[in-house]
Amino acid sequence: MVHEPIGAKEWAVFFLCVALWGSAYALVETALAAHAAPAVIVAGRLWMAAAMLHAFWFWRRKQGVAAGRTPGAQYKLFWLGAFGTTLPFSLLSWSQQHIDSGLAGILAAITPLIVAGLAPLLGQDQRLTWTRAAGLGLGFAGVLTLIGPEALSGLGGGGSLALLGQLAAAGAALSYAVNGLMARAGKPIPVLEASAGWTFYGALLATPFALHALAAEPWPDPVAFAAILALAIGPTALASIGYFWLVQRTGPTFVTQTNYAIPLWAVILGSVALGERLAPQAFAALALIGLGLFVAQGGLKAALRLISRSSPAAR
């Protein structure tokens, strides 16, 4: 499957997903602080999002705009729900209880590196060229610059729970990578059906753990339910539509580079909404991440071609 050229529309959806997913960390923290168990957060956001997406899909089908169910798609949607929602959401929600958000952000940023390494091995149409590898490396360097290399000092330390939290965050990154590759593989599923289907199966898989948590622990505060509803609307339902649309048009390597921009979005949002002063490394990180995205998507090659064509020797 050959991906579409990346234009203004693709970049707009890319940064919309960054904004939506970037807000998820703060909403999860809010729900955890309001006594919601990680399993309750995961199942709650997925069931609410699945209900919204199915209602929207049904409405679009009644209008004759969206297609019905794709034959044979349920098996794929089940595994997309497992690797794209239940498993990584659970791992990240649990890891945030035991490790700093900075370290979690760095570990999440390995997702595009995993995808770039695995995609060519699985026969997908995204060769790991030197420019793509350089761009991904620059993006990861930008994340390290933004968060600070000192966040890595906690890697492998802090006791058994901290180590398990680190492994959980890394496992979530691996799960997202596997999901991105699966979403791109095989016959494409229409965006609305894919979004509704993977949230439904994800919710189904998460329900037993949520019921166990509700039976064993006190019920969450109302603030937690408000945070879970916000998680369902933005970072789950709307972002799912954007995610599948981007994967089908551009491939998983491009989409997973949102992991580089999400920490930067969180810092900029803190500056705009909370009046926090941007540290000097934030500007360096912005330059590195922007340059990384530019190089990884062939911008450097295009610029070099343009220069060579316009040089006197080429005339």
Task: Determine contact, residues 202/195, Cβ cutoff 8 Å.
Answer: no
pLDDT > 90 fraction of the chain, expressed in percent and rounded: 33
Task: Determine contact, residues 221/35, Cβ cutoff 8 Å.
Answer: yes
Q: Residue 10 region, left (φ>0) first, then alpha (ψ -120 to 50), else beta?
A: alpha
> Does residue 127 register a pLDDT over 60?
yes
* 76 pLDDT tier (thresholds 50, 70, 90): very high
Other CB atoms within a 10 A radius of the CB of residue 264 amount to: 23
> What's the rounded mean pLDDT across residues 88-104?
78
> What's the rounded mean pLDDT across residues 257-271?
75
Give me the phi and psi of 98, to 5 degrees please.
-125, -10
- Residue 159's identity, in one-letter code, is G
pLDDT in tens, 267-297: 676 666 656 566 677 678 778 877 777 777 6
| Nearest-10 Cα torsion for 31, 260, 167, 251 | 100
The counts of H helices and E strands in the chain are 15, 0
> Does residue 313 register a pLDDT over 60?
no
pLDDT in tens, 50-75: 999 999 999 999 998 888 888 889 99
Nearest-CA neighbor of 77 among 214, 192, 166, 172?
A: 192
> Does residue 13 register a pLDDT over 90?
yes
> Does residue 119 register a pLDDT over 60?
yes
Q: Which tokens hold the place of 103?
A: 């370290």
Give the pLDDT confidence score for residue 164 in this predicted structure. 86
Give the pLDDT confidence score for residue 12 in this predicted structure. 94
Lowest mean per-residue pLDDT among 6-10, 237-241, 262-266: 262-266
> Does residue 300 register a pLDDT over 70?
no
Nearest-CA neighbor of 21 among 266, 274, 291?
A: 266
Alpha-carbon separation of residue 51 from 57, 112, 196, 202 (angstroms): 10, 30, 8, 12
* 299 pLDDT tier (thresholds 50, 70, 90): low
Give the pLDDT confidence score for residue 204 in this predicted structure. 96
* 198 pLDDT tier (thresholds 50, 70, 90): very high
pLDDT in tens, 213-254: 999 888 899 999 999 999 999 999 999 999 999 988 888 878
Give the pLDDT confidence score for residue 261 in this predicted structure. 81
Give the pLDDT confidence score for residue 58 in this predicted structure. 93
- Greatest mean pLDDT range, 134-148, 196-210, 266-280: 196-210
What is the Cα 157 distance to its own chain's centre? 26
| Spatial separation of the C-alpha atoms in residues 273 and 285, rounded to whole Å | 20
Average pLDDT in the chain: 82
Give the pLDDT confidence score for residue 66 in this predicted structure. 81
Q: In the chain, what are the helix, strand and coil shares in percent, each to the nearest 5?
A: 80, 0, 20
Alpha-carbon separation of residue 144 from 105, 120, 131, 169 (angstroms): 9, 26, 20, 16
Give me the phi and psi of 298, to 5 degrees please.
85, 10
> What's the rounded mean pLDDT across residues 28-52?
92
Give me the phi and psi of 101, to 5 degrees please.
-65, -30
Total length of the chain? 315
Q: Which tokens hold the place of 179?
A: 């999901």
